[in-house]
Amino acid sequence: MMLSKTIQDALNEQIKHELYSSHLYLSMSAYCESINLPGFAHWMRMQSEEERGHALKIFDYINDRGGRVTLLSIDQPPSEFESPLHVFEQALEHERKVTALINDLYGLAHKENDYATQALLQWFVTEQVEEENTASQIVEELKMVGSQGTALFMLDRQLGSRMPEAEEE
């Protein structure tokens, strides 16, 4: 069964949001590099790649269902942040917005009785729980360690050890 135009358009919109997320995290990575926190920069770059992977997951799904991918314009992300804490607070806020978008999309698929799209989106629902939890934990760690000193250096080293995630189907 082909995708309905409504679902196809909504999925194309979600690709745009996922690609914006990728750009946002890459911009955050650039900021972290500029303030000499290579571990934070690495973590954000890995996050950017993960978000691009999410966009491609939807891209492939649309194609697999006989739909048509249409790439939409992506807004320029911010490039200046107040601190590492501000970066991760913004990341957490952004992930909460993405969760709301995924939930809305799931609701639309449910309304349209599109069970295949619901199955795809269930993966994203689970992923968003993880994304919000991770960002929230780092925000709390940054609040504990402050914006300078040995603890920040150690957190930078820890974030720098992040490995690319294995693709889950």
Closest CA relative to residue 94, chosen from 134, 58, 41: 134
User: What does the pLDDT look like over 36-61, one tens digit per residue?
Assistant: 999 999 999 999 999 999 999 999 99
Does residue 167 have a pLDDT over 90? no
In words, the CATH class of domain 5-74+81-160 is: mainly alpha
Q: What is the pLDDT of residue 84?
A: 95
Place of tokens 């300078």: 148
Q: In the chain, where does DSSP find H-type helix?
A: 5-34, 38-64, 84-111, 115-145, 150-160
Does residue 88 have a pLDDT over 60? yes
Q: What is the pLDDT of residue 4?
A: 97
Does residue 169 have a pLDDT over 50? no
Q: What is the pLDDT of residue 165?
A: 75
Contacts of 100 (CB under 8 A, 6+ apart): none
Contact (Cβ atoms closer than 8 angstroms) between residue 15 and residue 59: yes
More confident residue, 146 or 54: 54
Rounded mean pLDDT, 126-134: 97
Q: How far is CA 37 from CA 30, 153, 157, in A?
A: 10, 8, 9
pTM of the model: 0.93
More confident residue, 152 or 17: 17
Q: What is the pLDDT of residue 51?
A: 98
Does residue 168 have a pLDDT over 60? no
Domain segments of the chain: what residues?
5-74+81-160
Tokens (6 digits) for 50? 């993960």
Tokens (6 digits) for 112? 């349209």
Rounded mean pLDDT, 147-151: 79
Place of tokens 């650039």: 30
Closest CA relative to residue 117, chosen from 55, 51, 62: 62
Tokens (6 digits) for 70? 């249409």
Q: Measured on CA atoms in the order 149, 150, 152, 157, is the torsion positive or negative? A: positive
Interatomic CA distance for residues 121 and 116, integer angstroms: 9
Interatomic CA distance for residues 11 and 43, integer angstroms: 27
User: What does the pLDDT look like over 20-36, one tens digit per residue?
Assistant: 999 999 999 999 999 99
Interatomic CA distance for residues 47 and 52, integer angstroms: 9
Q: What is the pLDDT of residue 166?
A: 64
